Amino acid sequence: MAFIIAVDGPAASGKGTVASRLAALYGYPMLDTGLLYRAVGVRLLEAGGDLDDATAAEAAARGLDLAELEKAQVRTRAAGEAASRVAVHPGVRAALFDLQRGFTLREPGSVIDGRDIGTVIAPEAPAKLFVTARPEVRADRRWKQLLGQGETVAYDEILADIRKRDERDGGRASAPMTQAPDAVLLDTSEMTIQQAFDAARRIVETARARSGDLPG
């Protein structure tokens, strides 16, 4: 049976970095599901569509080509905002469900990060982490990341975006972002990248031992 590592959490919490390092450690494929929603948003915007049009957003999701996840536009601030807006549409989430679900079934295991992995996509995952950090810390991380990508934006704008996205992601009717009851909370606010990874590795190793999956 595939060993699934589900990593959930809000934007800029460090979940992507943690997930990618866990994937490298165990030799598992990794899927950043946030990129799927970003790609849908970008696809819709490039077609001149309305992010709040549920029908158009679902059509964009159903026609998504995974190669679109590699586009530079998918990693911009605008794409992040677009992702949060299209993700509220139940049809978009339904359109992307099978793709995500299929990924979790890969042998011998997989790492998948997002906002509803442990609650909706793979509720049976033996290893579940909910990675978070204070909004101010997350805003600072995202601000520095965007500056490094050449985007000019004020920190206060990023903080406002972070708070707005948290509210939207946590308040949507379909698959809201929430910590699964059996997920381990990992607050990275005061952690270095290495410290966060070490803590995540310990959480996963505990889950592997509990499930009888041997360390490797």
In DSSP notation, 116-170 reads SIIIII-TT-SEEEEEE--HHHHHHHHHHHHHHTT----HHHHHHHHHHHHHHHH
Sheet holding 30-32, edge to edge: 30-32, 109-114, 3-8, 127-132, 184-187
| β-bridge partners, 210 | none
Distance separating the N- and C-terminal Cα atoms of the chain: 16
Q: Are 74 and 68 in contact (CB under 8 A)?
A: yes
Q: Are 38 and 82 in contact (CB under 8 A)?
A: yes
* CATH T-level topology, domain 3-196: Rossmann fold (3.40.50)
CA dist., res. 201 & res. 204, Å (int): 5
Residue 158 confidence (pLDDT): 94
CA dist., res. 178 & res. 187, Å (int): 14
Give the contacts of 202 (CB within 8 A, at least 6 positions apart).
none
Residue 111 confidence (pLDDT): 98
CA dist., res. 50 & res. 85, Å (int): 10
Per-residue pLDDT of the chain (216 residues; tens, 9 = 90+): 799 999 999 989 999 999 999 999 999 999 999 999 999 999 999 999 999 999 999 999 998 988 899 999 998 888 988 998 999 999 999 999 999 999 999 999 999 999 999 999 999 999 999 999 999 999 999 999 889 988 889 999 999 999 998 998 888 888 889 999 999 999 999 999 999 999 999 999 999 999 886 544
Give SS3 for 114.
strand
Give the CA distances from residue 140 to residues 12, 70, 152, in Å, rounded to whole numbers and listed in that order: 9, 25, 14
